[in-house]
Structure 1
Amino acid sequence: MKALFSTDGLNPSQSFRRWRETLVGRGVPLEQARLDDGPFAAKLEAAGVGPLLLLTRVSHGAMRSEATRGLIQRNGKDGTVVVQRAKAHVESRLGDPTLDAPQLPAAVGVSLRRLQELFHARGQHISDWIWQRRLEVAAKRLVDPGSAHLPIGTLAFGCGFASQARFSRRFKERYGSTPREYRHAAFESIP
């Protein structure tokens, strides 16, 4: 099983929001609401069959999920396929600091306006999603023991950030701590 997403290591105040963003980003048409005020934990796992990853396990804390007619219509097959192709294109070029929203339409065969509409229907902006993915990859690398030897600037550049200062600012906005503090806290908790 491969973990596609986990709230482990996330700021508890942001874990539910990040969980919803992840599901929306994967084309899951569900309205979700918390059922308690306790810490929220969730995990999305998959197993591979050849080159395909198949969703096999979803576990989460107390919440209500509902597939509404509007969400199902907004996430119709046509739009989902285009958005997934755009996201796959981004994933394959995440480390390229020149990657931006205007490049995507040509890669997936739609106009920029149409692609923006499809992302907006999922409650996202294209550029915000690109930055979100870069930050998520950077956060994983910061706590990965195999990347502990990498300077933070090198890690930032490898995730597509053009400057360490911009990376640090965006990271702190997203995770509530600097990359250095985040890394230190992760390795400090290892026995």
Structure 2
Amino acid sequence: MQTLFSTEGMHRENSFKIWRETLSDRSLPIELERLDDVPFQATIETATVGSLDLTRLTQGAVRANTSRDMIQRRGQDGTLIVTFQLAGVLTSLQDDRSSVQRAGDLVVLDHRPGVLTTSAGHQSLYLELPRERLESVLGSARLFTSMTVGADVGALSLARTFFLDLIKIRRQLAPDTAIRMSEIGIDLIVACLAERLAHEAPRPVHGTLVVQRAKAYVEAHLGDPSLDPPQLAVAMGVSLRRLQELFHERGQHISDWIWDRRLAAAANRLSDRGFVHVPIGTLAYGCGFANQAHFSRRFKERHGLAPRAYRQAALLGAP
């Protein structure tokens, strides 16, 4: 990663003051307060992978307060902050929920008033993700902000390792591949949050969370041609009848949702220049269709054009 700032080599009496000024210059809406008297050290490192900007932050023991006025001046309401805790301890308070994150944990923070406290030796990896991308699957961010996602979530270790490895190999990736890898990383984060929400959901919202988890699972397994309602119910740990009831309560059918998402993914790939050399049959199989004829029929019913014609029109910029 590229080092943007480091207190290394600075005089101990000046390092925290300069660090605070540096964060202010980066328009971060926080006020910092030191919590110990040991020599203060801090570093900001960044990397870009596809559509994601990643920041690794290392700092000593501080308390960071964020007020409503400070947030409004920055105007970042369209994103949420996802934090992988790499070392030390982070305590977060937001939306009347207080939680503690240790190495290996994940937490999501919103651009709303809150308090963060870091221990000595704190290190985190930060990503800003589109709010709509998370809330469209998981519901309002208030359901999961400042909620510790820990080792009891099986996918978390995979997600953390994925991003750390992605940073290491980012320069070896072609631009289109980097974008696709960043999208996979976001899907992993969504899956982790969906699993965590399901662990301790109050009964009134449990059904909503099951549906949200099911939709996240579908997004992550679109390429599996065997994915169907019975398999999805098994993956969610509920009966097929119960899952069907939950979808019906929301005016949806499970199979229709799966095919809608497969067709949407196919349309996106047909419009993507990064897939221009992928044969139609291969693309169809990658979106979960068992054969090209079935794909072509369903695609034309939905979009009014055969896949090949749709691709040609999209790449030419036709409406």
Report the TM-score when normalising by structure 1: 0.62
1:49 to 82, 105, 110: 82
Tell me the residue number matched to 2:221: 93
2:252 to 124, 130, 136: 124
1:138 to 266, 282, 288: 266
Q: Distance in 1 between matches of 2:272 and 2:301?
A: 21
- Aligned: 1:103 with 2:193: no
Give the residue type in structure 1 aligned to 2:82.
V
Give the residue type in structure 1 aligned to 2:311.
R
Report the number of matched residues: 129
Q: CA shift at 1:48, angstroms?
A: 5.2
- Aligned: 1:84 with 2:160: no
Q: Distance in 1 between matches of 2:291 and 2:282?
A: 10
Tell me the residue number matched to 2:290: 162
Q: CA shift at 1:49, angstroms?
A: 2.1
Q: CA shift at 1:77, angstroms?
A: 1.7
Give the conservation status (yes or no) of the 8 Å contact 1:47–1:56. Answer: no
Q: Distance in 1 between matches of 2:132 and 2:234?
A: 33
SS at match of 1:49: strand
Structure 2 stretches of 5 or more lacking a match? 1-50, 52-77, 84-105, 109-128, 134-203
Deviations 1:130-180 (A, max 9, x none): 000000000000000000011111100000100000000000111111111
Give the residue type in structure 2 aligned to 1:164.
Q
Q: Distance in 2 between matches of 1:168 and 1:46?
A: 37
Give the conservation status (yes or no) of the 8 Å contact 1:157–1:163. Answer: yes
Structure 1 stretches of 5 or more lacking a match? 3-44, 58-75
Q: Distance in 2 between matches of 1:97 and 1:105?
A: 16
Q: CA shift at 1:55, angstroms?
A: 2.1
- Aligned: 1:151 with 2:279: yes
Deviations 1:18-71 (A, max 9, x none): xxxxxxxxxxxxxxxxxxxxxxxxxxx7555247655259xxxxxxxxxxxxxx
SS at match of 2:226: coil
Give the conservation status (yes or no) of the 8 Å contact 1:101–1:127. Answer: yes
Instruction: Answer with 1 or 2: which has the greater Rg.
Output: 2
Q: Distance in 1 between matches of 2:228 and 2:132?
A: 32
Q: CA shift at 1:114, angstroms?
A: 0.8
Greater strand fraction, Structure 1 or Structure 2: 2
Report the TM-score when normalising by structure 2: 0.38
1:48/1:178 CA distance change after superposition, 3 Å: farther
1:185/1:122 CA distance change after superposition, 3 Å: same
Q: Distance in 1 between matches of 2:304 and 2:81?
A: 34
Q: Distance in 2 between matches of 1:183 and 1:77?
A: 41
Identity %: 65
